[in-house]
Amino acid sequence: MAFRYSLCDAMMRPHNQQHNKGNDNMNDNDNDNVTTTIVTTRQEAGQPGIDTNLSINWEGLELEDLRAMAQQSLVVKLQYLWRKNGIPTGNVTINAVEYRPGTRATKTKPSIDNMIVSLSVEQKQALINRILAGM
């Protein structure tokens, strides 16, 4: 049975951080191709999380595979930020190093153009009416 959860409901912690609930030797594997982490997942918002000890075997993946996986994760993160701050139009180039795990994304104020583009037709009309009425 597959267990599905959204990225917003899962919190990934590196295996070596303080989250020891007894014997934390999930895998005494000397294989550099295996990483371990504890994933805490909430079935629904507000419910307590359930811990899963996750081991990931990276063996057989090529650099292109890893880049594709990283790109997939980065796109989800960017979409979240854009929904919050305004969705850019046209071509956008980012530096992936600015989004590596453990770094905070720099907060940029959304441009007025991006804010207006994100408004619905009704919201735009209401804004026009407020401007014409002198706010």
Written as tens digits, the pLDDT of the chain (135 aa) is 333 333 433 444 444 333 333 334 444 445 688 999 999 999 988 899 999 999 999 999 999 999 999 999 999 999 988 888 888 888 888 888 888 888 776 666 667 776 787 788 998 899 899 999 987
| Coil, helix or strand at residue 39 | strand
pLDDT at residue number 1:
31
Q: How far is Cα 55 from Cα 26, in angstroms, rounded to an integer?
A: 8
- What amino acid occupies position 31? N
- As to burial, measured by CB atoms within 10 angstroms (0-12 exposed, 13-18 middle, 19+ buried), residue 22 is exposed
pLDDT at residue number 119:
82
Q: How far is Cα 135 from Cα 121, in angstroms, rounded to an integer?
A: 19
Locate 9 and state its tokens.
Answer: 């409901």
pLDDT at residue number 57:
94
DSSP string, 57-78: E-TT--HHHHHHHHHHHHHHHH
**Please, which residues have CB within 8 angstroms of residue 117's CB and are 6 or more apart in sequence?**
86, 87, 89
Locate 66 and state its tokens.
Answer: 């890893």
pLDDT at residue number 38:
92
User: Beta partners for 52?
Assistant: 39
pLDDT at residue number 32:
83
| Coil, helix or strand at residue 27 | coil
